[in-house]
Amino acid sequence: MKKRLDTSKLAEWVGELRAGEEILLSGVVYTARDAAHKRMLAALTAGDPLPFPLQGAAIYYAGPTPAKGGLAVGSAGPTTSSRMDPYMPRFSSEGLRLTIGKGDRSEAVYEAIREARGAYLCAIGGAGALCASHIESAEVVAYPELGCESVKRFVFRDMPLFVGIDSTGGSIFRR
């Protein structure tokens, strides 16, 4: 049976997840990809404010297409997560505990997840339309000039995901 979890209580459950578990995630999740990560790291380095607080946040590596058909967004499938790996240790040290994407992560990310008692969740690649049907709202919160790579605030409702890497370093990729 899939666990129903909400990001508003992320700190209560994230450390209890185990690799391979299936979950249904609801709540606020921010999107950010390569270009946004680069800008966010530059802001952190300069001491400037971020578009959203990393403490206790969840980031979905996605670049959704424009909305159509009455949905909040168009296709919203996951992006290959390893492209964000260079940023993850710093973001994790700032309080980021949950990321969502597809594919395995680097050893540095495994360590960052363990240190933060966080987790990495996986969405099914190629299922952008399915993912979009579980997003109730979407608003651009930063870097609108980046188009689909702008930072957005999503509200998920029962997004089907599975635990790729858990807080102990357990992994579906490295069995």
What pTM, to 2 d.p., does this model score?
Answer: 0.95
Question: Selecting from 3.20.130.10, 3.40.50.11810, 3.30.1280.10, 3.40.50.1100, what CATH number does the domain 3-165 have?
Answer: 3.20.130.10
- Compute how many other C-beta atoms are within 10 angstroms of the C-beta atom of residue 88: 26
Burial tier of 30 (Cβ tally within 10 Å: 0-12, 13-18, 19+)? buried
> Which tens digit of pLDDT belongs to each residue from 113-124?
999 999 999 998
> Which tens digit of pLDDT belongs to each residue from 130-172?
889 999 999 999 999 999 999 999 999 999 999 999 999 999 9
